[in-house]
Amino acid sequence: MSSKTIEQKQSPKQQSHFLSSFAIGVAKATGGTILGITMITSSIVAGGLVGLAISFRNLPDVRVLKNYVPSETSYIYDIKGRLLTSLHGEANREITPLKQISPELKRAVIAIEDSNFYQHKGINPYSIGRAAWVNWQKGSVSEGASTLTMQLVKNLFLTKERVFSRKLAEVIIAFRVEQVFSKDDILYMYLNNIYWGHNNYGVQTAAETYFNKRASELNLAESAMMAGLIQAPQQYSPFINYTATKRRQAVVLRRMRNLGWITPAEEAAARKEPLLVNKPTAWRTSKLPSVTEAVTAELKEKFGEEKVLQGGMRVQTTIDYYFQKMAEEEVKKGHRRIRSWGVRAEQVALVAVDPRTHFVKALVGGVDRDKSQFNRATQARRQPGSSFKPFVYYTAFASGKYTPSTTIEDSPVKYRVPSGYYRPKNYGGKFAGEMSLRTALLQSRNIPAVKLGKAVGLDKVIAVCRRLGIKSPLQPVISLPLGSIGVTPLEMAGAYATFANNGWHSETTIIIQVTDSKGNILLDNRPQPKLILDRWSTATLTSLMKGVIAEGTGKNADIGRPAAGKTGTTSSERDVWFVGYVPQLATAVWVGNDNYKTLGKGVTGGSHAAPIWRSFMLKALEKEPVRYFPAASQFPRP
């Protein structure tokens, strides 16, 4: 912006001189009639205009525009920079520098709206005089002669009410604006603020909406059409009345030719050129709604709704568009497959996290987004069943008192609870007697898990879960080791990702970075890994969970490379899970019903969630090399 400044308030004498000059211009414009001159002279002599000048001493200080930041649309991108959606309130706007706006558009706008823009000082007395004469004759404000500066002032400072007092305020403020800012500054603010129709404010979003182009790429025909919209955006919209659009475009081109700014040949060529317009971008929906809604919710929590909708954020997510679409398709295929088996499952959710960065790579909140917008991946807290047991086993190993060969009794037990007695049962109802912790986990025995949890301390198990990023409410109830509390698939995938990275943890995130429209960083979620788990205990747990897939309840998750995981099945078969990982990817799959109805007798995580996990992982890892987990022998025991 220009560094030139003026006093916030001019003296009555200065404002009187300005208005007197303005009045003479009006008189000249009205033909110098005796009536016109007499009227204006009488007003000045009577002190009327001086009184008006004094009354406007408290108008806004235009210098505030130096720090003015208009509301601006925020944009969400995938990890490769592909646009997923835009977020905005009333104003869909992207600010663009004046040098990045097509010269053709700038000329077209100035030609039709204010051809003397670079000559006047904010007002055009002759044009205003003609309008004033017509308005005086009609007794109301029916005709205007606003310069670009006056239009800018009206949009930023004043109401749109068409009364004489507002018009005079507009003139005075426009005069002040021209004293403070350069012409290019004023044109920059004007082009980025005015309304172009279909919820587009500012030239950049309008260019994208109508032509799917940057404002710098508009040609003469497109620029003339855009300039023609300013007077009445809806009336001349090509989406509403293409014929009216072309008529208005011709008016702009004729004006440019009359001014000598284009040749007759250029005018004729532009008039003949068809306008290849798109659907308005403001009407488009998100390309990945499950992702962008989760991102938006996180942004609003961190920054507030107003900042998100009006702050011009540029949000880079962790999601690759094509990878996400593949995950969505695998969920649909998996759902169709288990339904064909007679499983009464209405929903499937899937979350995949990169253990090396804890970036969310896929986030599928349900089977069919068109039928249900509820995001089960981030919002549904469902019981994880036996897929919670690894947290208990890790806690035991990290205590230094247990190893995989430690034995435990799989035998009847009861615990006193407020409601009476709690008697845990194994799936199938049988007991196996003494067994090693390795065998207990491979076979997913419930009673050993409950006994182990009680022995190591449920508060310590919860503390481990908190370190792993599980924020859902957890209570130290006896049944906790059996996954009797609700967690989200996102929490489970993030926690297992730390196991996959052998104890190294970053905050699980779907957002890499947020900047403002000028590139200033507002949020930086690039990984800052910390070692939060004991490495021997984590490697030992991974070894056991490799066995779950190789010879335990997770055989249907075998993907032909080293992988670890755990099945989960809740009582009455309401929720079934498989959560597993390789060094490059951790994935949680949940299957269930929103109304908690049973899935059917005999439905388990190993038989129904694991196949979906396997199918997805095979696709996801097609181009990934086989990697191996570190052996526990590499690390000292706690």
- Do 78 and 84 touch, CB atoms closer than 8 A? yes
**Rounded to whole angstroms, how far apart are CA atoms 126 and 132?**
10
**Rounded to whole angstroms, how far apart are CA atoms 388 and 377?**
17
Tell the burial category of 633 from Cβ atoms under 10 Å away from its Cβ (0-12, 13-18, 19+): exposed
Q: Which amino acid is at 170?
A: E
Closest C-alpha to 191, from 238, 146, 227, 167:
227
| Cα dihedral 78, 83, 89, 93 in deg (nearest 10) | 130
Q: Which amino acid is at 34?
A: I
At residue 260, the 3 state secondary structure works out as coil
Closest C-alpha to 296, from 283, 310, 309:
309
Partners of residue 565 on adjacent β-strands? 580
Catalytic residue among 386, 479, 506, 615: 386
**Rounded to whole angstroms, how far apart are CA atoms 540 and 59?**
74
At residue 276, the 3 state secondary structure works out as coil
Partners of residue 587 on adjacent β-strands? 352, 580
**Rounded to whole angstroms, how far apart are CA atoms 245 and 233?**
10
First to last CA, the chain: 64
Catalytic residue among 94, 104, 113, 208: 113
**Rounded to whole angstroms, how far apart are CA atoms 388 and 468?**
12
Closest C-alpha to 229, from 101, 105, 89, 72:
105
At residue 33, the 3 state secondary structure works out as coil
Closest C-alpha to 288, from 591, 511, 589, 76:
76
Give the tokens for residue 16: 């009187």
- Do 328 and 319 touch, CB atoms closer than 8 A? no
Q: Which residues of 582-621 are buried (b: 16+ CB within 10 A; e: fewer)?
A: bbbbbbbbbbbeeeeeebeeebbbbbbbbbbbbbbbeebb
Closest C-alpha to 178, from 145, 144, 147:
147
113 has catalytic annotation: yes
Quickly count helices (H) and strands (E) in the chain: 22, 16
Long-range contacts of 188-192 (CB under 8 A, 24+ apart): 188/97, 188/98, 189/65, 189/68, 189/152, 189/156, 190/148, 190/149, 190/151, 190/152, 191/98, 191/101, 191/105, 191/106, 191/109, 192/70, 192/93, 192/95, 192/96
Partners of residue 509 on adjacent β-strands? 359
Tell the burial category of 555 from Cβ atoms under 10 Å away from its Cβ (0-12, 13-18, 19+): middle
**In angstroms, how far is CA 177 from the centroid of its own chain?**
36
At residue 62, the 3 state secondary structure works out as helix
217 has catalytic annotation: no
Question: Which of the residues are catalytic?
Answer: 113, 386
